[in-house]
Chains A and B, each alone.
Chain A
Amino acid sequence: MNLKTSLGIAGCALALAGLAPTPAKACGGFFCNNTQPVNQAAERIIFSQNADGTTTAVIQIQYSGPSEEFAWMLPVQGSPEIGVSSNSAFAALQQATNPTYQLQTEVEGSCQDDGFLGGRGGSPTFDSAGAADSGAAPSEPEVSVVDAGSVGPYDFVIISVNPDAEDIATVATDWLVENEYDVSPLGRDRLVPYLESGMNLLAFRLSKGRDAGEIRPVMLSFGEGLPSIPLRPTAAAADPDMGIMVWVLGESRSIPANYRSLELNEARINWFQPSTNYNDVVTLAANEAGGQGFVTEFAGDAAGFEATVLPPSTDDAFANLSERDWTGQHRDLVVQATQLFQSFQNFGPFGGGTAWDGVAESVLAEVPRPADVPEDQWIASPLEWIWNLDDTVEGFDPASFLARLEADVLEPVRATAALFESAAKVTRFYTTMSPDEMTVDPVFDFNADLPDYSNTHLQTRIIECNPSVSQFDAPWRIQFDDGTVVRGDGQTWPLLGNDALPANRRVLRVGTEGEGEVIIDNSAAILAVVNVSNADHPRRDGRMAGGTCSALGGAAPLGVLGAFGLSILAIRRRRA
């Protein structure tokens, strides 16, 4: 009996267990205030190479600490256009591109307890991806203010430093500190190459009266040029193995031009619970590759992502709200409008939802506080109290409220979504890096020869049943796309914690044309380790199995021969 079930187990959304932002050490981005002993989590950046050749960067800023100590800066050339984006855009984009590892199950033979289809102990289930979630220059200036202003919750300033200044980095950071940009002196030497090359410094702080809870991504529009992360200054505030997630939008699939391209060894992933070790595997892979490499997690058409970031239904619903007469229905307007802008609908007005950036601030700015709500509680969490509003709120202007939502909430998301309009492809990269590895700024380029890369990884686990064993405990095998067969039994991934198993299948250097050059190929080493593991997991007929060809009944030596053959084929293919 060959019972085939499509047990869609192990659908995993990796992202957030391991990648979710944690309380941040200062300010995400590229360079941070390091005075707070808190933790900096994954950096998330969207780069868009636009149709006109310009580049836009959307940078998520993570910070936890006193509002007055927030400062964030990065080197820029000239004076980029500065705007704000929304964390909701990152959440939606991340969820749509998270890698997933799925096992479907087939059953061969009859087990002791036929009829069991994964109920006992529960099929592995995984979280759905989810996302987290001016000063004046002196007359003979060492520092000149190129631009200054406010955007969203931030004040910003762009300064240029006289290249003849004796200590150019100290001059820059001292000026910023004197002007209440609380930048850390740590790592300022790392600014020297940027400043010496004539670049300016862009610095942000929270505007007076704004709270750290209002921190939201910034959008910077540069001139022409390849996307690049000025990573070296980040080392001053980064934690070990800090995650870096980058989306690059452009005419074709993107490549990390001067970083290594990592191809993960999928046998190292715990396919039963991928979220439990994916991040660790990426870290191991990056470390194996000298600490400077990116995993391509997704590469595909940009079409559709605009709607992912901003669903048309949200835009339409807001337009409908704007056309209605809300006389005598002020509470309904505030409730409906604010509910429209939350990432997850859930119980209660905001019971489980996450409001988009700017919603709470818009309510505070436009909606008079209900008389029965204490001021401190209203300021702390206005969205929890909007049900206390009356039908007619004196001093409330529906049109003004809607206009503010449009400008501060919807438009930044719309602008981010629009980046996908002009792009043909989206590529998502991920890696982790420690401060001592942040010695080179990664630059991203494009390679039209590379194919799309799916974030969905699907394999079939064949359970080898026999009457003496339950299906739950029965041995199984999975044959990966490269021919490697992993054998196990029960519900435990057999290669978990096997330190002999490389985390990379291959490491490549890839240029703007062709498929790149393999600089590390661990295929043979992986096979050897898998063979040893497989020997501990007998086939259903009691024989031991090798790493390949087990479906044909091969024993270990045959498996090795099979692997050797595959290696030859692989080499020939590369040479062809």
Chain B
Amino acid sequence: MMEANPYPRGRRDRRDGLRKRACRIGFALLSMVLAACGSDPQESVEFEVGTGSWRFEALSDGDSVELIRGAQGGWHIWMAARTSDLRDGDLVRFFVGPADGELSGTELNASFDPPRSDGFRHYVGWTGFVNDAACAVGTLYRLRAALVRNGEEIAASERDVMVDPGADPPAPCLVSE
């Protein structure tokens, strides 16, 4: 159980995982990394965070995502992920929170659907809890997911989305002084 995001934030669209990060370092290092990429199949992992309860819906920064109210009164955003490479023992970390604040997250052994015709496997229906739903409406929230293999994030993806009140909006935000 992750209580807070222990990972640096602000990196955009890391679907290419380590390779993309490594490629920013420098030419010499890049060469080494690319060489390594060629011999390590993990480097080709494509991984993307999205939304959806029953099917994966891709997101772009700035898209709207609806708040969902659960019967017990909690609020969540549907989160989803897809990947081109999933192996036994792989875990997924889901994080959600204000784009300019702390993310809270959970690590789980996610039950991905079988591979689709494009080779991707989808995981849908994760309930990303929204702590202060009323005040989250109309603000940017960050949805982040990471694929964890052997204890390390080998790929990650995040989107900053606008929180939509949805069909069943929460009470207005009361901001205390």
Contacts and interface: CB of A to CB of B under 8 A. Distances in A.
Contact of A228 (B3, B71, B109): B71
A428 B73 CA distance: 23
B63 interface: no
Q: How large is the interface on B (under 10, 10 to 19, 20 to 34, 35 or more residues)?
A: 20 to 34
A470 to B, nearest CB: 46
Contacts of A223: 69, 73
Contacts of B1: 189-190, 192-193
A222 B113 contact: no
A257 B53 CA distance: 6
B137 interface: no
B72 A439 contact: no
Interface string A474-517: 00000000000000000000000000000000000111000011
B124 interface: yes
Interface string B61-93: 000000011111111001000000000000000
A80 B129 CA distance: 20
Contacts of A193: 1, 104, 106, 129
A52 to B, nearest CB: 13
Interface stretch (A70-78, A306-314, A368-376): A70-78
B111 A439 contact: yes
B120 interface: no
B108 interface: yes
B113 A225 contact: no
Given A225-B71, A520-B114, A196 B54 contact: no
B54 A222 contact: no
Contacts of A443: 53, 68, 70, 125, 127
A546 interface: no
Interface string A439-455: 11101010000000000
Nearest to B3: A192
Nearest to A168: B3
A559 interface: no
Given A190-B1, A198-B131, A440-B127, A258 B53 contact: yes
Interface residues of A, number: 49
A57 interface: yes
A265 to B, nearest CB: 17
B116 to A, nearest CB: 8
Given A196-B104, A436-B109, A228 B72 contact: yes
B132 interface: yes
Interface string A220-247: 0011111110100000000000000000
Interface string B110-137: 1111100000000011110111100000
A292 interface: yes
Contacts of A137: none
A224 B104 contact: no
A257 B3 CA distance: 26
Given A197-B130, A258-B78, A258-B125, A77 B72 contact: yes
A73 to B, nearest CB: 12
A199 interface: yes
A437 interface: yes
Nearest to A292: B111
A107 B114 CA distance: 43
A516 B54 contact: yes
Nearest to B106: A193
Contact of A78 (B3, B73, B104, B111): B73
A192 B105 CA distance: 10
Contacts of B106: 193
B55 interface: yes
A439 B73 contact: no
B69 A225 contact: yes
Contacts of A511: 53-55
Interface in A173-212: 189-190, 192-194, 196-199
Contacts of B126: 258, 440
Interface in A57-106: 57, 74-78, 80
B73 A258 contact: no
B173 to A, nearest CB: 13
Interface string A530-561: 00000000000000000000000000000000
A53 B109 CA distance: 34
B117 to A, nearest CB: 11
A437 B111 CA distance: 8
Interface of B: 1, 3, 53-55, 68-75, 78, 104, 106, 108-114, 124-127, 129-132, 168
Given A190-B1, A443-B125, A509-B55, 6 more contacts: A75-B74, A78-B73, A226-B70, A258-B54, A443-B68, A511-B53
6 contacts: A75-B74, A76-B73, A196-B3, A197-B75, A225-B73, A510-B54
Among all A-B residue pairs, the 10 with the closest Cβ atoms: A77-B73, A258-B125, A290-B111, A197-B129, A225-B69, A55-B71, A509-B54, A228-B70, A511-B54, A225-B71
